[in-house]
Amino acid sequence: MNTIKVKAGISKSSELAIHQDEAVLIGLERIKFAYVCFGSHKHYVNIKKDSSISRGNVLISQKIMDELHMPEYPTYEICVNGNEIVIGPCIGLLVSTRDERITKSRLNKMMTYVKEYQKLHGAIVVFALNGVDTENHLINGYCYNPEREIWQKGIFPYPSAIYRSIGLSDRWKNHFLSIIGDKIFNSRYFSKWEMYQWFSELSKEHINIPHTFLYQSCQDVLDAVEKHGKVYIKPVLGLQGRKVMQVSKESLTYVFRYRDQGRNHEVRLDKPDDAAEFIKKSFIQNRYLVQQGIELLKYREQVIDFRCVVQKGLSARWACKAIIGRCGEKGSVVSNISSGGTAYRVTEILEKVMPSSVVPSMEEKIRNFALEVCNALDEIGINCGDLGVDVGVDTQGCLWLIEINNRDPDPTIALNIRDRRLYYELKAGRLLYAKALAGFGSS
């Protein structure tokens, strides 16, 4: 890792000056003419080797610094490929549509992303869509200043990679694609229905998915209940377990269980026509999924599933950073923490429901399952870097893919198991993959 400080030099010509020994170290020993890249901007320079320049410093003409919109205060890394000199990484965090929403308070919260700046380096720029100058490929944003530990307002080039936490239209995605390439992640948000369709087509031998279909009619739901004994109806675009209903049949009675306004509810209907009418009033065609109910492990009659936090890092390969068991509130049909569930470290909850001798192998099984799911998504062609894979374990020990959270998975689940270090690691982990996309990864 070649870290440098970039300073404006006094030369009036287009020049990059560097210590002779440092030039040898990074591969500039014989090169006299090259071009400097910072974010989306490039500029030709003459290379000057000067032993009077302090090691670890690079001097670039003020004119070029201004044209590249390169701030002096970050600690940069430098890599050379032929006559291309890349200074960076230059990473963008697209967090809002409107700049006025990037308040001082919000920027303070963004500090969690740069807690481990010594692993990132470069220009980390927070910006909003209305701060984008599409004609000149510039952004108005806030770059982290590691010397003062503040976000500093300025104008910067388009980043080399962008982590986005908001939705983007196809027009915006294609615009950035045309300038910086496929360097946005997660490049595409997808719904639960798209996920089930993809994995059904993939026919991966080791990835079980519950039978799932789009809600079209109440009769389809009743037929599925007869077939599976229990189904879940959930919104195609829902989050945090909201508006999920379990439908089962006990003897001749249809039982509807759901959670609303922090409370668990149960409706029991004996007549099929009444059940059909209840379904008809509760759901809209094509906006809900009907999913086969799986007999998942339970602890004290509380349903359990596992959130696997999976990220790509500097190697651009998937790694399962954490597995967190979620145990639903008693009587709840969902396990989500936001719906009253409790978070456990994976070994802690597994030891409550199975012999301790098989816990390590089950943990490894869940980990490998989540990684296989993420690698399968890569095959589809989605540039993801941060996913929450929800895995269910049934009473026979078989694993099931329940959902994939690809819309900015919430790392605060680490705080639910009182692991603040993991929380910061997950926040910084997103930018490590952006660093790899920006050309500063590791093999």
* Co-location of 332 and 199 in the same domain: yes
- Answer with the one of 271, 293, 315 that is the final residue of a domain: 293
* Co-location of 300 and 405 in the same domain: yes
pLDDT of residue 338: 64
* Co-location of 194 and 309 in the same domain: yes
Count CB-CB contacts under 10 A for residue 342: 17
* Co-location of 181 and 253 in the same domain: no
| Sheet with 288-292: strands ordered across | 212-214, 288-292, 230-235, 245-250, 253-260, 263-269
Q: Which amino acid is at 260?
A: D
In which residue are the tokens 């430098």 written?
A: 78
* Co-location of 233 and 201 in the same domain: no
Report if residue 337 sits inside a domain: yes
Q: Which CATH number do you get for residue 152?
A: 3.40.50
* Co-location of 21 and 134 in the same domain: no
Report if residue 421 sits inside a domain: no
pTM listed for this prediction: 0.87
* Co-location of 278 and 313 in the same domain: no
What is the Cα 254 distance to its own chain's centre? 39
Length of the chain, please? 443
Q: Which CATH number do you get for residue 253?
A: 3.30.1490
- Answer with the one of 68, 88, 108 that is the final residue of a domain: 88
Contacts of 19 (CB under 8 A, 6+ apart): 49, 50, 51, 53, 54, 55, 57
Task: Give the chain's residues under pLDDT 50.
Answer: none
As a whole number of Å, the end-to-end CA separation of the chain is: 13
DSSP label of 440: I
d(CA 143, CA 152): 5
Pairing between strand 123-133 and 57-61? unpaired
- Answer with the one of 53, 88, 123 that is the final residue of a domain: 88
Ordered DSSP codes for 244-312 = -EEEEEETTEEEEEEEETTEEEEEEE-SHHHHHHHHHHH--TTSEEEEE---B-EETTEEEEEEEEEEE
pLDDT of residue 361: 96
* Co-location of 99 and 72 in the same domain: no
CA-to-CA separations, 317 to 246, 284, 442, in angstroms, rounded = 37, 39, 10
Domain count, the chain: 4
pLDDT of residue 105: 96
Q: Which residues pair with 126 in a beta bridge?
A: 93, 142
* Co-location of 167 and 99 in the same domain: yes
* Co-location of 139 and 65 in the same domain: no
CA-to-CA separations, 209 to 19, 199, 437, in angstroms, rounded = 59, 8, 31
Domain enclosing residue 365, as ranges: 188-208+295-409
* Co-location of 164 and 84 in the same domain: no
pLDDT tens column, 253-281? 999 988 887 788 889 999 999 999 999 98
* Co-location of 323 and 403 in the same domain: yes
Strands (DSSP E) along 158-244, which ranges? 161-164, 184-185, 212-214, 230-235
Calculate ∠ Cα 57-61-64, nearest 5°: 115
d(CA 431, CA 158): 16
Provide the sign of the torsion angle of the four alpha carbons 66, 70, 74, 79, taken in this order: negative
